[in-house]
Structure 1
């Protein structure tokens, strides 16, 4: 069993691409669950399910998708994403965002800009590039920071947090139970337990209040996607249906 995708800063795909929701969606539609890592690769490079004309473009796209999503169901987080992708289609944009946040430090650096912006506020690529520059000022040139700003703005638009082309405005993303489960599991895999799971970087990216997250977590438990117990300010969550057996523990 491959380890979970707990990169947290090891990759920086947004220096060259967005979170590529359209490509991920096409790929997961073409490749059935339970497929091998090689099956995902062949679908991109040989079968050209993403409709990229040049072989070099197919290989580059595959590399970036692997950076963000692993594309290997032995990887704990991609395996969970793949299941939730089928269980709860409305959650797909947020599922992709949550995994991309985990694996790309550049995108994760922009989370505070987005979640702290009031709905209706203008959020342009410049604000996002400033956040990236503050965190990576000695490692990125001004041109790269500007490109990261544009790419992260596009990703936040794909996830439903921003709306518009030339002028992007903060809007509320549509959250559903599958995205809540994934956010809680990602926090769980990072060692967070109980109600603090409602306040991780992943949960804050859901555009939902603690009460809304709690209600959706309960709804997910009713569907059998997770275990939920709560008495007042004490909560216990389990993920035995989604986590591999060696990771079946409660928090």
Structure 2
């Protein structure tokens, strides 16, 4: 699932996308439980990155045993999600997080996919599996090695495969313990809205917004994505207009004036 984008890398970095070859999945899953607890502790959606750091490191809101572990936890969460209000990718994640509880796992997956190269690399392997297919960790190891040859030691490759499978399990795409089975997720109004925004920031426009890697992450058909977008528009989360095959999606409540200038420059 190759992502084609017309947005310059520098602009995408300003939006919060992760573009280098690093990734946190060699050490952690998408840390959904920690993110959920963190947002409960830091309840103000307008909080700054320093507030999240203070809550994790100084107040130990996630209940870690040592200061070193707390600092590592903050570093990985910041790598996966940004934790920075200046990044539209994180700011809008938090916006939909507060409004779409059922879609939180999908929202977290979308953010991680946008920021973590290891997760992006494994997406085709997981998403293209027929429903009901059973996979084991070793199969994920083999795929990672095939797309990132000799990047990881044998031990790191094993832990990375475990973490990757763990993330896809928490997102709902896999179920089971050792032997995991491919299942389908049910895209929510919030997760489709967030996927459309990420697609828009990546340079997609019109009907192409509904045929992007972010929409595919949600196991969502074109027609179902249209239905979700229409509902999001009725709720005032986005603006969705459609006349026949001509479609337009706007995000006036989610993108700042400065960010819109970046969008216009890329166009």
TM-score bin, normalised by smaller chain: over 0.9
Question: 1:17 aligned to 28, 37, 47, which one?
Answer: 28
* Number of corresponding residues: 250
Query: Do structure 1's residue 84 and structure 2's residue 91 form an aligned pair?
Result: no
TM-score by length of 1: 0.95
Output aligned runs, 1:229-248, within 5 Å.
229-248=241-260
Q: Which runs of 5+ in 2 are unaligned?
A: 1-12
Check the 8 A contact 2:141/2:158 in 1, yes or no.
yes
Higher relative contact order (CA 8 A, sep 6+): 2
What is the alpha-carbon distance in structure 2 between the residues aligned to residue 103 and residue 11 of structure 1?
9
Unaligned runs of 5+ in 1: none
3-state SS in 2 of match to 1:14: coil
Moved more, 57-66 or 237-246: 237-246
Measure how far apart 1:233 and its partner are. Answer: 2.1
Give the stretch that moved more between structures: 125-134 or 32-41. Answer: 125-134
TM-score by length of 2: 0.89
**Aligned 8 A contact 1:113 1:127 in 2:** no
Q: CA deviation at 1:232?
A: 2.3
Instruction: Tell me if structure 1 keeps the 8 A contact 2:137–2:178.
Output: no
1:210-229 CA distances to partner (integer Å, 9 max, x unpaired)? 11111101110000010111
Q: Measure the CA separation in 2 of the matches of 1:118 and 1:47.
A: 45
Q: Which residue of 1 aligns with 2:63?
A: 51
Please name the residue that 1:221 is paired with: 233
Distance 1:115 1:197 in 2: 19
Contact conserved, 1:45 with 1:58, CA < 8 A, in 2? yes
Whole-Å separation in 2 of the counterparts to 1:196 and 1:146: 37
1:4 and 2:15 equivalent? yes
CA distance in 1, matches of 2:34, 2:181: 24
Moved over 6 A (4+): none
Task: Give matches, 1:136-151, under 5 Å.
Answer: 136-151=148-163
The reply to whether residue 128 of structure 1 matches residue 140 of structure 2 is yes
Q: Aligned partners of 2:209 and 2:172: how far apart in 1?
A: 22
Asked whether the 8 Å contact 1:95–1:179 carries over to 2, the reply is yes
